[in-house]
Amino acid sequence: MQLKLTRQWTFVGVLGACATFACSNRGGAASGTGGAVGDGGALATGGTAVGSGGASATGGSGGANPASGGTAGATSSYSNVGVCGDRGKATADATSFDGYEERYLIGEEGFGTDVCVVRFDLKRVGDAPAGCTVCTWTQLLEYGNPSVVTDTDGVCAQSDLALDAPAIAKIVGSRVAIGFAKQLGGAHGSARMTYMDATGTWEVTGNATWNETTKAFTFDYRNGYCNYGP
C-alpha cells in the first residue's frame, strides 16, 4: 500500500502549484495536472468532474468539459485506474484559432499508454467574454469533426469518460472560451485559461505554451484519476 501511494504522489505532486495559482476544481464544463507542455513550470490544476456531455454540451459559450474529468475518490464500476485529461495544439493569436483538442485516458494510473483518445477540431467562432486580465489573448471556440484516434477494447465508452457515440455527438457544436496567460503570476510556467459560465470567472485549466512568432499553441490538462473497464 505504501508503494502505491508513493507512485501516485510522484505523479500528482505538481498539484501543489495550485496553492499559488488558485487552480480551478473544474466544476463547470473544458480541460489535473498538466503533463509535458509548459514553459518550465507546472501550473497544475486538479479536478474531479465527469460526465458524458461536452463543454457546454447543451450549447452556449464558455465552460469546462465534464467529459474530460476523472472521478478520483468516487465509486466506479470499472476495475482499472487511469488518468484522464485533455490536450491540444493550434495555430493561434489574438484574432485567429485553428486547431484541435483531444480527450484522453492513459492506462496504468497514468504511467501506461493511451487507451482512449477522441479528437475534436477547435475553430474560432467569435470573441470570448471579457475579464481575463492575465490573458495575452482569448478566443471563443467551437468543437467539431470528431474522430476516435485510440479506443483499446472499447475503453472510451467503458470508462468514467463515458465517451460513447451519443456522448461524442453531444460535444459537437458546443463552445468554450479559452485564453493564454504567459508566465502567470510571475512564474516560469504559462497557462491555459477557461471561462466558467457558472461563476462568470476565468480560471487556470492546465499548462500551455505559445510562440508569438510561429503562433504555435499547445496545452495539456490532466484532471485526475478515472476508472476504465472491464
Residue 74 lies in a domain: no
- Tens of pLDDT, residue by residue over 38-96, are 333 333 333 333 333 333 333 333 444 433 444 444 577 899 999 999 999 999 999 99
d(CA 99, CA 90): 4
Mean pLDDT check: name the lowest of 23-27, 127-131, 174-178, 217-221: 23-27
Q: What is this structure's pTM? A: 0.71
CB 159 within 8 A of CB 119: no
CB 52 within 8 A of CB 170: yes
pLDDT at 186: 73
What is the span of the domain harbouring residue 143? 15-69+81-225
CB 84 within 8 A of CB 99: no
Q: Which residues contact 169 (CB under 8 A, 6 or more apart)?
A: 146
Residue 4 lies in a domain: no
Residue with cell 501511494: 5
Describe the chain by its helix, strand, coil percentages, rounded to 5: 15, 40, 45
* Number of domains present in the structure of the chain: 1
Half-sphere exposure of 218 (CA within 13 A, CB side): 11
Residue 221 lies in a domain: yes
DSSP state of 37: -
Predicted confidence (pLDDT) at residue 111 exceeds the cutoff of 50: yes
Residue 64 lies in a domain: yes
Residue 76 lies in a domain: no
Residue 9 lies in a domain: no
Residue 138 lies in a domain: yes
CB 205 within 8 A of CB 31: yes
Give the DSSP letter string of 93-156.
Answer: -SS-EEEEEEEEEETGGGTS-EEEEEEEEEEEEEPPPS--TT-SEEEEEEEEEEEEEEEGGGTT
DSSP state of 25: -
